[in-house]
Amino acid sequence: MSAVGEQVLTTLQRSHPPALFVSELAAKVRSPELEPALAELQAANSVLVSSYPPPDPHLEGLDLRIVALVPEAGEVGAVENSATVWSDWLRQFLANHRCQ
């Protein structure tokens, strides 16, 4: 595993829940090798990368993917953690966003 891959896993382990938007992860990892590391980790079933549709046309083109750590118990935990991060963000977005 690459050093960036290890940094991704460590960063996710420190998050609660262990899932972050790719943009948040990129801000913490700060490496141009993030995408290849994510692909490597996903192929090894260490992380799950989930994509969500933009809730507003003004957000089209933004990277709304969420990376979740896959626990030893299996992928279900990663799906749940990803959904939690998405739901929390979406709730805040809808509570504060007003289209003009």
Q: What is the CATH number of the domain that holds 30?
A: 1.10.10.10
Q: pTM of this prediction?
A: 0.87
pLDDT in tens, 59-71: 777 788 999 999 9
| Long-range pairs, 94-99, Cβ under 8 A, ≥24 | 94/55, 97/56, 99/56, 99/58
| CA-based nearest residue to 5, from 27, 35, 18 | 35
Is residue 5 within 8 Å of residue 40, measured between CB atoms? yes
User: How many domains does the chain divide into?
Assistant: 1
**Domain span holding position 60:** 3-96
Helix (H, G, I), strand (E, B) or coil at 87: helix
pLDDT in tens, 18-40: 999 999 999 999 999 999 999 99
87: amino acid identity, one letter: S
